């Protein structure tokens, strides 16, 4: 399985009420579970800076990671950037 980082910048109009945001997050989570069964969610972080959320996922199917990212974009009203990540020790072993 490969590790991926999904960076999300939430649209300002998505955050009118905190409860709306919680519902939106739950909808995104359920949709990804249903439509992207090969994507394993490892962790999520709220961050300060250019992005609002950092998600760490694993999958053997990059297409399902792409689909999960598109679900975050459309249902989470966010801009996303997805990157494949290599564990540092594995990276060092290749150079």
Domains of the chain and any CATH numbers: 2-94 (3.30.70.920)
Q: What is the pTM of this model?
A: 0.89
Enumerate long-range contacts of 62-67, CB under 8 Å, 24 or more apart: 62/2, 62/4, 64/36, 64/37, 64/38, 64/39, 65/4, 65/6, 65/36, 65/39, 67/35, 67/36
Q: What tens digit of pLDDT does each residue of 33-61 get?
A: 999 999 999 999 999 999 999 999 999 99
Mean pLDDT along residues 65-74: 96
Q: What tens digit of pLDDT does each residue of 4-40 get?
A: 999 999 988 877 777 788 888 899 999 999 999 999 9
């Amino acid at each position: 399985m490969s590790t991926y980082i999904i960076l999300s910048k939430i649209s300002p109009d998505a955050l009118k009420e905190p409860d709306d945001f919680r519902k939106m997050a739950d909808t995104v989570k359920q949709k990804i579970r249903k439509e992207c069964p090969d994507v394993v969610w490892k962790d999520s972080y709220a961050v300060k800076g250019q992005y609002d959320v950092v998600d760490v996922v694993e999958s053997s199917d990059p297409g399902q990671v792409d689909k999960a990212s598109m679900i975050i974009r459309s249902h989470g009203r966010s801009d996303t950037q997805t990157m494949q990540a290599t564990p540092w020790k594995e990276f060092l072993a290749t150079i």
